[in-house]
């Protein structure tokens, strides 16, 4: 299933009009102030439902209302050529900073501010065609962050495979929370932690 809300009957606004670029960064401010905020709301809510459904979650963790009440960032991708160049929504990646208690497995957990992947969804017809990587790469470049430097909120098997395939992240360090973190985080940041504690 793909997201076509903005293309629904009676609507003269195309996906490309709402999102002129192939990847758009949505924040509370940009989403709220957009002249197309009602359409963006429908799209985000629908995407959130599709994401929850595909991950077997009871409730949507991504909605327009949640975005505008947070400092989260949503990177939203479109396929500009689909629907006779009117465009179609491909998927989204939601990032946000969290204060987590983390551990490298050898010491008691300590608090750290960490950039987290909170939700990630590519519409079914676009999956396994490189769109997820394209979107993820764009976001981490824009945020100037490395995949090992992030925590992943209850990652699905697909995301676990994705991170192993593209970023060689395989060595999971168990955490006292629902987030998944990789050994590289503790190796690459160990000096900082020793100094900061
Ligand atoms: N089974 C196993 N691995 C998969 C699958 C699948 N069905 N789909 C994607 N992958 C992994 C594999 O490593 C795959 O490489 P392969 O085809 O050689 O095995 C690789 O991702 C493909 O890379 P892309 O095409 O760039 O990825 P895609 O566009 O499919 O996006 C994503 C990856 C976001 C995980 C997508 O598959 C998706 O939306 N899945 C459903 C929702 C989901 O699981 N989201 C993650 C939730 S967890 C969280 O957000 C913290």
Here the tokens at position 138 are: 């764009």
- Report yes or no: 84 and 37 within 8 Å, Cβ to Cβ: no
Confidence check: pLDDT of 119 > 60:
yes
Given this model, what pLDDT does residue 10 score?
39
Sign of the alpha-carbon dihedral angle for 83, 44, 148, 145: positive
pLDDT tens sequence across 142-169: 999 999 999 999 999 999 999 999 999 9
Q: Ligand 1: does its nearest atom lie under 6 Å from the Cβ of 35?
A: no
What's the pTM value of the predicted model, to 2 decimals?
Answer: 0.94
Under DSSP, is residue 88 helix (H, G, I), strand (E, B) or coil? strand
> What's the Cα-to-Cα distance from 61 to each of 93, 141, 173, rounded to whole Å?
12, 24, 24
pLDDT tens sequence across 43-95: 999 999 999 999 999 999 999 999 999 999 999 999 999 999 999 999 999 99
Q: Ligand 1: does its nearest atom lie under 6 Å from the Cβ of 128?
A: yes
Q: In what order do the strands lie in the sheet with 88-102?
A: 23-26, 73-79, 88-102, 110-122, 150-153, 179-182, 172-173
Instruction: Express as a percent the part of the chain with pLDDT over 70.
Output: 91
- Report yes or no: 95 and 139 within 8 Å, Cβ to Cβ: yes
CA of 157 to the centre of ligand 1 (A): 8
Q: Indicate the range of 5-14, 34-43, 173-182 predicted with least confidence.
A: 5-14
Q: Ligand 1: does its nearest atom lie under 6 Å from the Cβ of 131?
A: yes
CA of 96 to the centre of ligand 1 (A): 20
- Report yes or no: 51 and 61 within 8 Å, Cβ to Cβ: yes
Here the tokens at position 186 are: 């503790």
pLDDT band at 12 (very low <50, low <70, confident <90, very high): confident
Q: Ligand 1: does its nearest atom lie under 6 Å from the Cβ of 132?
A: yes
Sign of the alpha-carbon dihedral angle for 118, 124, 128, 134: negative
Confidence check: pLDDT of 127 > 70:
yes
> In which residue are the tokens 């992947």 written?
117
> In which residue are the tokens 């100094």 written?
195
Q: Ligand 1: does its nearest atom lie under 6 Å from the Cβ of 122?
A: yes
């Amino acid at each position: 299933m793909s997201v076509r809300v903005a293309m629904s009957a009676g609507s003269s606004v195309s996906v490309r009009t709402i999102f002129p670029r192939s990847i758009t960064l949505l924040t509370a401010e940009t989403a709220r102030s957009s002249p197309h905020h009602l359409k963006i709301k429908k799209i985000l809510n629908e995407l959130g439902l599709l994401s929850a459904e595909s991950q077997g979650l009871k409730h949507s963790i991504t909605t327009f209302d949640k975005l505008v009440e947070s400092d989260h960032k949503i990177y939203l991708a479109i396929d500009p050529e689909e629907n006779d160049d009117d465009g179609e929504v491909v998927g989204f990646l939601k990032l946000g900073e969290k204060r987590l208690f983390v551990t490298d497995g050898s010491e008691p957990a300590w608090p750290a501010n960490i950039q987290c992947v909170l939700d990630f969804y590519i519409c079914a017809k676009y999956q396994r065609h490189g769109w997820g990587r394209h979107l993820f790469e764009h976001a981490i470049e824009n945020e100037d962050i490395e995949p090992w430097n992030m925590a992943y909120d209850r990652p699905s098997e697909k995301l676990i495979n994705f991170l192993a395939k593209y970023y060689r992240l395989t060595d999971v360090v168990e955490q006292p929370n629902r987030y998944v973190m990789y050994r590289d985080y503790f190796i690459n940041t160990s000096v900082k932690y020793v100094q900061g504690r």
